[in-house]
């Protein structure tokens, strides 16, 4: 077997050094009634060429977005990935390393994370960010836990219904057996109505969680929400599923958010059927010691050279055990590296220009669809690169009809939003050319 280097001679010499006769003796500490008495029932190992042939067969049964005209978003975004990223992250000094416990031989990973933390702060307008989390949904759940822990005697958290359904469901799972009361805030015109928030806010509330852009692609009135949330000294948690929007719209930090979480998949990660993504988590200085997850800080070595190291470990599970800020003990290191490379490559100008393209195309398509017979825009709030349209034709039928033309028209939102059964969430990125959009319009208009 090509991954196993032992020759028979090696094995015999090693057994002799250990002082046992055969490999079986290695397992003498396992009682007989705990042993598996038969071989593992899996097919024999394959040659590399056969592995790839088998996997190609499975891959061929999937609808890859490069063969389709895809207007799918809803938490995963089809952005172009520059060739630089895969070339750099294929350097195995990065991907075959582990958590940088030995900083003297891990400065590459550590400096990379320090730069990641910095760029997340710059993008979100926050003071500090951690080394990353699993994904946006779990980061959002951890943000709720932070807010409740910080607020001490308060246990109520307001969750805007416009927040991505997966984020809401994940929060509910994480809080299932904790003393946390989750209260849903209704929606109006695609965003969160301020009057209802005012009614729900009191000194029992630890935080309000809102998407920016929200699940409908709409831009929530963050500064107005922040002002209200702060009147009762609660925290505003902002969740960003499409962070490219932050290159165009004011940052949550600038608008008064206390915690900003989200998913960085848009920045250079393949769609990969939804995972791995990468959660980011940024806070104000006051919450630094309550942060979950890994943190990298700057320091010096014995010779006085600038260096980077994992720090503030006393928050973490391997020191604090049951009193830790979270049970998380890794980050999404490789994904954080991809995000950093993507952001460094696009830079200040490129990221804004890319956001402009996304905005212009999405809003053009939105306008065009609204002129078609049988389609309407349910919300008038500004959007970024996603928007909801309502259709006269049943959404399931419409989607099926367009699939015949190799078009993935969008995400049906009815299952998560009763009352919006006619709603289709359409996403447009720089990957959707004008030609693709015109084909979509023709196809939509085709039958009613």
Partner 1 sequence: MIPTDSRGLVLDEPLLFEQSQPGRIGYSLPDTEVPQSAPPADLLRDDITDFPELSEVDVIRHYTRLSTWNYGVDSGFYPLGSCTMKYNPKVNEVAARLPGFAEIHPQTPEALNQGALELMYRLEQALTEVSGFPAISLQPAAGAQGELTGMLMIRAWHEARGSKRTKVIIPDTAHGTNPATASLCGYEVMPVSSTGILGRDAVAAVMSDEVAALMITNPNTLGLFEADIRAICDLVHEQGGLVYCDGANLNALMGISRPGDLGIDVMHFNLHKTFSTPHGGGGPGAGPVGVAEKLIPFLPLPVIIKEGDDYHFDYERPQSIGRVKSFYGHFGILVRAYSYILAMGGNGLKKATELAVLNANYIRARLEGAYALPFKERSLHEVVFSEENLGGGCRTLDVAKRLIDYGFHPPTIYFPLVVAGALMIEPTETESKQTLDDFCDAMLAIAAEAEQDPDKLKQAPTRARRRRLDEVTAARKPRLRWLP
Residues 375 to 434: which contact partner 1 by CB under 8 A?
Answer: 382, 399, 403, 408, 411, 430, 433-434
Enter the DSSP assignment of 45: P
- Shortest spacing between CB 371 and partner 1, in angstroms: 14
The interface mask with partner 1, positions 100-129, x = CB under 8 A, is xxxxxxxxxx-xx-xx-xxx-xxx---xxx
Does 152 participate in binding partner 1 (rule CB under 8 A)?
no
SS3 372: coil
Does 294 participate in binding partner 1 (rule CB under 8 A)?
yes
Tell which positions 34-93 bind partner 1, by CB under 8 A: 34-36, 39-46, 48, 50-52, 54-66, 70, 72-76, 78, 82, 84, 86-88, 90-93
Count the residues of the shown chain that bind partner 1, applying the rule CB under 8 A.
201
Does 332 participate in binding partner 1 (rule CB under 8 A)?
yes
Cβ neighbourhood burial of 303 (10 Å; 0-12, 13-18, 19+): exposed
Tell which positions 340-369 bind partner 1, by CB under 8 A: 340-341, 343-354, 356-357, 359-361, 363-364
Give 51 or 203: the residue with its C-beta nearer to partner 1: 51
Does 148 participate in binding partner 1 (rule CB under 8 A)?
no
Query: What's the rounded Cα separation, in Å, for the pair 225 and 204?
Result: 17
Q: Where are the beta strands (DSSP E) in 146-246?
A: 156-160, 181-185, 205-211, 235-240
Could you please report the per-residue DSSP string of 330-361? ---HHHHHHHHHHHHHHHHHHHHHHHHHHHHH
SS3 370: helix
What are residue 424's DSSP bridge partners?
389, 412
Peptide bond before 93: cis, by omega within 30 degrees of 0?
Answer: no
- Shortest spacing between CB 407 and partner 1, in angstroms: 12
Residue in 203, 233, 254, 397 binding partner 1, rule: CB under 8 A: 254
Decide if 263 contacts 339 (C-beta within 8 A): no
Give 231 or 433: the residue with its C-beta nearer to partner 1: 433
Residue in 246, 261, 420, 443 binding partner 1, rule: CB under 8 A: 246
Tell which positions 158-197 bind partner 1, by CB under 8 A: 164, 166-167, 169-170, 172-174, 176-179
Decide if 424 contacts 388 (C-beta within 8 A): yes
C-alpha 154, offset from chain centre? 28
Give 93 or 195: the residue with its C-beta nearer to partner 1: 93
């Amino acid at each position: 077997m090509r991954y196993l280097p032992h020759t028979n001679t090696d094995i015999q010499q090693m057994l002799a050094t250990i002082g046992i006769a055969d490999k079986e003796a290695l397992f003498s500490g396992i009682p007989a009634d705990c042993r598996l008495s038969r071989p593992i029932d899996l097919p024999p190992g394959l040659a590399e060429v056969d592995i790839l042939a088998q996997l190609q067969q499975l891959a061929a049964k999937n609808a890859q977005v490069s063969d389709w005209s895809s207007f799918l978003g809803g938490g995963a975004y089809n952005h172009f990935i520059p060739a630089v990223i895969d070339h750099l992250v294929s350097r195995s000094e990065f991907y075959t390393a582990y958590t940088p416990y030995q900083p003297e031989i891990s400065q590459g990973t550590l400096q990379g994370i320090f730069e990641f933390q910095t760029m997340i702060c710059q993008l979100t307008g926050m003071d500090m960010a951690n080394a990353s989390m699993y994904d946006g949904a779990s980061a959002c759940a951890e943000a709720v836990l932070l807010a409740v822990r910080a607020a001490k005697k308060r246990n109520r958290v307001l969750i805007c219904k416009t927040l991505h359904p997966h984020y809401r469901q994940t929060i509910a799972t994480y809080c299932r057996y904790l003393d946390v009361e989750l209260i849903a805030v209704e929606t109006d015109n695609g965003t969160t109505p301020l009057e209802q928030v005012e009614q729900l806010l009191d000194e029992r509330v630890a935080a309000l969680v809102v998407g920016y852009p929200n699940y409908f692609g709409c831009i929530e009135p963050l500064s107005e929400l922040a002002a209200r949330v702060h009147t009762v000294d609660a925290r505003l948690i902002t969740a960003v599923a499409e962070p490219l929007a932050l290159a165009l719209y004011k940052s949550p930090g600038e608008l008064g958010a206390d915690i900003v979480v989200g998913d960085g998949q848009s920045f250079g990660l393949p769609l990969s059927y939804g995972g791995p993504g990468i959660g980011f988590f940024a806070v104000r200085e006051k919450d630094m010691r309550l942060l979950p997850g890994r943190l990298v800080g700057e320091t010096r070595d014995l010779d006085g050279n600038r260096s980077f190291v994992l720090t503030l470990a006393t928050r973490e599970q391997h020191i604090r055990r049951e009193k830790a800020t979270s049970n998380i003990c890794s980050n999404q290191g490789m994904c954080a590296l991809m995000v950093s490379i993507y952001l460094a490559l696009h830079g200040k100008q490129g990221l804004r220009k890319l956001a402009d393209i996304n905005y212009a195309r999405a809003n053009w398509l939105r306008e065009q669809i609204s002129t078609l017979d049988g389609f309407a825009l349910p919300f008038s709030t500004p959007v970024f690169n996603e928007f909801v349209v309502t259709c006269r034709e049943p959404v399931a039928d419409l989607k099926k009809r367009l699939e015949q033309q190799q078009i993935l028209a969008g995400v049906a939102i009815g299952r998560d939003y009763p009352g919006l059964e006619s709603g289709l969430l359409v996403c447009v990125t720089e990957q959707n050319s004008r030609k693709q959009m015109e084909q979509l319009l023709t196809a939509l208009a085709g039958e009613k």
